Structure 1
Amino acid sequence: MGQRILTVNAGSSSVKFALYKSAASPECLARGQVQGIGSSPSFKFKKGGSGATEPVDAKDQDQALDVILSEITPLLDGQEVAGVGHRIVHGGPLRAAPAELTEDVLADLATFNPLAPLHQPHNLSAVKAAKRAFPYALQIGCFDTAFHRNHPWENDIYAIPRKYYKQGVKRYGFHGLSYDYVSHQLVREHPELHGKRIIMCHLGSGASICAVNNGVSISSSMGFSPLDGIPMSTRSGHLDPGILLYLMETEGMTAKELTHMLYYDSGLLGLSGISHDMQVLENSDEQGAKEAVEYFVYRVRREIGAMAATLSGIDALVFCGGIGENSPNIRLQIIERLGFLGITTDADANAQNATRISKGPTPVFVLPTDEEQVIANAVAKALAPAH
């Protein structure tokens, strides 16, 4: 079968892609991204074991997708793109599975733009651009919220008047595509953990913690929006809502101003006053950088403890995401005080970014995530002929 599958993951400053040979288990031919959109855009490309990065002209996500399409055309070898899979951050209260992105579905998804302003508008813009580029391809949306749609009631509701819950004000949870991949990969590589209680830490520019029991999400640190939980690169994480009331009353801040502060000026950037980049902060001698890292570590450790209580124990801890996969120092600081959960660090293995980085009875793993593979699998399933 010579058809191709393209996956698109559009964010506020980057558009990631991967090209697959269409099959029951899609085979990745190439992957990369246009990064630094709006500042210093560049195209990062990897095919097989080789890769390259070069500057490009991409002022927005549409132009970034144009760059990607021009670069992957030679890789199509004359084969058509039969399906395009998209990461959609917010699927709303009902979507628990991938769906075809019809005009009606897109209109509904646009109503969630205010809940994920860093991602949702760009996700949907990429869908429209892909439809123009591949008018005959099947467009499939894969939702970051879908993995969390079976939470127990008490992990979904807020203690505000019940009518708002019925209107959709609830805890949605995010990073579901990452957690879907990692949870399945963990059980494939370690079948003894099938049906066990797993705490997963997706730590990157966006960051969250998820409690999984028997392969099912029980609780997520992220809630109604991708703002909640642990601090992120520029997002605040958990915040007393009284702070927002205070800022509205004393500073006269509008909803638009509060949104910008919470999404763009907070998190590691706001705490340090230096950078949103964890690597920069780790290498800095500035007090603000040190304190930002300490706060991040504290909040992650606290959330792990909360998830362990939710699960009534823990059978394994997993790190993934850019920070989780690549920062031994952050991992060490997080887990060095988790001995009460049966966790003991293997310092050498951790320093080498090994798959297993613990010695104690509770294993700790570092597993690279692959959201694109989850998306490609969903497209392949949708393309498969019905039996």
Structure 2
Amino acid sequence: MGDTRSVLVFNAGSSSLKFAAYRGAADAPSLRGAIERIGAGARLVLHAPAAEALGDTADLPADGSLEHLARWLMVRLRRHLADAEPAAIGHRIVHGGATFAAPARLDEAALDALERLIPLAPQHQPYGLAVVRAAMACWPASPQIACFDTAFHRGQPRLAQLFALPRALTDAGIVRYGFHGLSYAYIAGRLSELLGARADGRVLVAHLGHGASLCAMRGRRSIATTMGFTVMDGLMMARRCGALDPGVLLYLMQERGMDPARLVELLNERSGLLGVSGLSDDVRELEASGDPHAEEALELFAYRAAGEIGAMVAALGGLDALVFTAGIGERSAAMRRRICARLRWLGVELDAQANARHAPRIGAPQTAVDVLVVPTDEEIVIARAARAAVA
């Protein structure tokens, strides 16, 4: 694309809105930041370069809704772009269902189809679509490109996607979709430079953040992942319990009188690290606590992660490399140590000093499995896809 105009990227969550601007074909952003803590006293965080590029932001509506804050942000981004229409605007959309297996240009028909998927990702889908509509109103002439967290997994073997449910339900789309695909796509794109010939081997990526999942890759493609039909499956997370015996839900409905709304709140907001510790959903706070309940929550997180890693290694048929990414994976040396201590049977050994300083390679020398720490970058994946979509 010969266009030198900017590409904008929006990555919306229930309590944050990340954004970035990229000039022309550059991979380094001219502006990057986030509105954090939406709903709990929102604040704006800007990163270098151009940390002052939005001008005076003292009028940030700290108690505003995501839609209100998105409109406020877009007014300032128009000034940053000198009122030029962006060449494209890319959006992270969590769930693409069975239909959207690649980045897609959004129109009303596509938005209607994505809104029908809201019940599968109620904590994410409405917010991403609300930002899309705000961007359409602000820049009506710019193409809006959706990039889907589910798309990276759509080429998985059929067996990896199936639940053992009646075929009619499978045919109706109740299958394992998987998530965090934009993060995994970024890591997959880095593997050749990091691992050389082993990049196409048996690689397991651990995306450990507020939401957490694993992705087993062979040939830098997803062959299995821990999240399923929704983002609630698999690993223990900050506030989600992860995989759970469905009989527990039947018991809570039948014997405790819980309705679906209360179950959604329990499983998405009161479980995981927060529920087990009773203190916090933040690994940093739990590691500093000294409270035995905090210690138990951290140990359970590591225990569950190691167990799911074992299942993913079975799908891979072995393990050549383990990659940690996302907030906990990138920043918690102690959690990496807890998890890897349970994986020695796989040939995983850490270099304690390299792990403590968060080095890119943290595996002990001459061990069978490479262990890496790779910061993820969903925004550049979205920016590249948006450029390609309008090229």
TM-score category by the smaller chain?
over 0.9
Q: Secondary structure at the match of 2:385?
A: helix
Aligned to 1:270: 275
* 1:90 positional shift: 0.2
Give the counterpart letter for 2:303 in structure 1. Answer: Y
1:144 correspondence with 2:166: no
2:131 corresponds to which of 122, 126, 129: 126
1:362 corresponds to which of 369, 379, 383: 369
Q: Secondary structure at the match of 2:334?
A: helix
Asked if the contact 1:328–1:350 (Cα under 8 Å) also holds between the matched residues in 2, the reply is: yes
Aligned to 2:43: 42
1:337 correspondence with 2:339: no
* 1:383 positional shift: 1.9
Asked if the contact 1:314–1:362 (Cα under 8 Å) also holds between the matched residues in 2, the reply is: yes
In the TM superposition, 1:217-232 aligns within 5 A as 217-232=222-237
Aligned to 2:386: 379
CA distance in 1, matches of 2:152, 2:221: 8
* 1:116 positional shift: 0.7
Residues 196/372 of structure 1: CA separation in 2 closer, same or farther (3 Å cut): same
Residues 361/286 of structure 1: CA separation in 2 closer, same or farther (3 Å cut): same
Asked if the contact 1:40–1:55 (Cα under 8 Å) also holds between the matched residues in 2, the reply is: no
Asked if the contact 2:30–2:50 (Cα under 8 Å) also holds between the matched residues in 1, the reply is: no
In the TM superposition, 1:250-289 aligns within 5 A as 250-289=255-294
CA distance in 2, matches of 1:142, 1:332: 33
CA distance in 2, matches of 1:49, 1:64: 20
* 1:74 positional shift: 3.9
- Where do 5+ consecutive residues of structure 2 fail to align? none
Aligned to 1:18: 20
Asked if the contact 2:31–2:51 (Cα under 8 Å) also holds between the matched residues in 1, the reply is: no
- TM (norm. structure 1) is 0.95
Give the counterpart letter for 2:40 in structure 1. Answer: S
- TM (norm. structure 2) is 0.94
1:299 correspondence with 2:301: no
* 1:124 positional shift: 0.6
CA distance in 2, matches of 1:262, 1:139: 33
1:192 correspondence with 2:197: yes
Give the counterpart letter for 2:36 in structure 1. Answer: Q
Asked if the contact 1:332–1:345 (Cα under 8 Å) also holds between the matched residues in 2, the reply is: yes
CA distance in 2, matches of 1:297, 1:55: 42
Q: Secondary structure at the match of 2:29?
A: strand
* 1:50 positional shift: 5.6
CA distance in 2, matches of 1:309, 1:190: 21
Q: Select between 236-245 and 183-192 the one with higher mean Cα deviation.
A: 183-192
Asked if the contact 1:33–1:43 (Cα under 8 Å) also holds between the matched residues in 2, the reply is: yes
CA distance in 1, matches of 2:376, 2:119: 27
* 1:93 positional shift: 1.3
Q: CA deviation digits over 1:304-337, x for unaligned, max 9?
A: 1111111000110000000000000000110022
Q: CA deviation digits over 1:180-200, x for unaligned, max 9?
A: 001111223332223211000
1:83 correspondence with 2:84: no
Give the counterpart letter for 2:60 in structure 1. Answer: V
Give the counterpart letter for 1:285 in structure 2. Answer: G
* 1:166 positional shift: 0.3
* 1:54 positional shift: 7.6
In the TM superposition, 1:63-102 aligns within 5 A as 63-102=68-107
Q: Select between 80-89 and 42-51 the one with higher mean Cα deviation.
A: 42-51
Aligned to 1:57: 61
Aligned to 1:108: 113
Aligned to 1:9: 11
Residues 275/310 of structure 1: CA separation in 2 closer, same or farther (3 Å cut): same
- For the aligned residue pairs, the C-alpha RMSD in angstroms reads 1.7
Give the counterpart letter for 2:249 in structure 1. Answer: L
Q: Secondary structure at the match of 1:313?
A: coil
2:181 corresponds to which of 176, 180, 184: 176
Asked if the contact 1:5–1:21 (Cα under 8 Å) also holds between the matched residues in 2, the reply is: yes
Q: Secondary structure at the match of 1:151?
A: coil
Asked if the contact 2:115–2:125 (Cα under 8 Å) also holds between the matched residues in 1, the reply is: yes
* 1:56 positional shift: 3.1
Aligned to 2:208: 203
CA distance in 2, matches of 1:370, 1:16: 11
CA distance in 1, matches of 2:198, 2:79: 42
Asked if the contact 2:85–2:141 (Cα under 8 Å) also holds between the matched residues in 1, the reply is: no
* 1:51 positional shift: 7.9
Residues 357/259 of structure 1: CA separation in 2 closer, same or farther (3 Å cut): same
* 1:55 positional shift: 8.7
* 1:77 positional shift: 4.0
Asked if the contact 1:203–1:322 (Cα under 8 Å) also holds between the matched residues in 2, the reply is: yes
Aligned to 2:317: 312
Task: Figure out how many residues of one structure are paired with residues of the other and give that number.
Answer: 383
